[in-house]
Amino acid sequence: MTGEVTLEIDGGFVKAKEGMTILEAAKLAGIEIPTLCHHEGMEPYGACRICVVEIERHGRVRTVASCCYPVEDGLRVRTRTPKINRIRKNILELAAITGGADVGGIVNGLAYAYNADLSRFSSTTSVKPTNCILCGLCVRRCEESQRDNAIDFVGRGTTRCVAFIPGKEGACGTCSSCYGLCPTGRVSSVGPDPPFPSVSDILAGRKKV
């Protein structure tokens, strides 16, 4: 991992260390790429896809998630094309379905920057917003914090949500490691208490539907 590569980002040449991601290399060059599920201290997760960029490699153009894609010599990267901007705007609008049209945090800020209409899909789909976009930062932090590992994802697809692992409801509330990570601002010292539902709450809620 000592090799150095040169790649082109938005027309400028950037030197980066082998093994770095495009996102890290762009940051080195002072180019900002938006992220929601990414955190420097954690393994890349690749779930929110807002960090997509266009790459050109051997003449082939692809869209990839910059938080996961490793840098390569001669790679050409474009971080802001009309298409990329369109996709990011769309992702933000989609995020507001579970996040809610009034979602806070950086989601809201990015919506302004990308001219996204947060009520576009959230108003037509009958989903009760939870102010959560399922980025998994809290879940991963909880797992990596080496304390109690109290929360995880429950359900699949559109029923996916974050919940307490059964029996761990009481374990949460002492470490606050996940505070401040949340891109919507839901999980914080002033967020709901308890911050997550229990599995039995979710099952009861599902029965109603």
155 binds other proteins (CB under 8 A): yes
Shortest approach of other proteins to residue 192 CB, angstroms? 22
Alpha-carbon distance of 59 to 53, in angstroms, equals 16
**Contact predicate 146/156, CB 8 Å:** no
Binders of other proteins in range 125-144 (CB under 8 A): 125, 127, 133-134, 136
44 binds other proteins (CB under 8 A): yes
Q: Which of 27, 80, 160, 168 binds other proteins (CB under 8 A)?
A: 160
Select 51 or 178, whichever has its Cβ closest to other proteins: 51
Alpha-carbon distance of 148 to 167, in angstroms, equals 11
Q: Which of 7, 14, 16, 65 binds other proteins (CB under 8 A)?
A: 65
User: Shortest CA distance to 134 belongs to which of 203, 46, 21, 200?
Assistant: 46
Shortest approach of other proteins to residue 155 CB, angstroms? 7
Q: Which of 64, 106, 171, 181 binds other proteins (CB under 8 A)?
A: 64
Select 2 or 124, whichever has its Cβ closest to other proteins: 124
Alpha-carbon distance of 108 to 85, in angstroms, equals 16
CB atoms within 10 A of CB 52: 22
3 state SS of 118: coil
Residue type, 30: G
121 binds other proteins (CB under 8 A): yes
| Pairing label, strands 161-164, 52-57 | unpaired
Tokens 């153009």 sit at which residue?
61
Q: Which residues make up the interface to other proteins (CB under 8 A)?
A: 44-50, 52, 63-65, 67-70, 83, 86-87, 90-91, 94-95, 97-98, 121, 124-125, 127, 133-134, 136, 153, 155-160
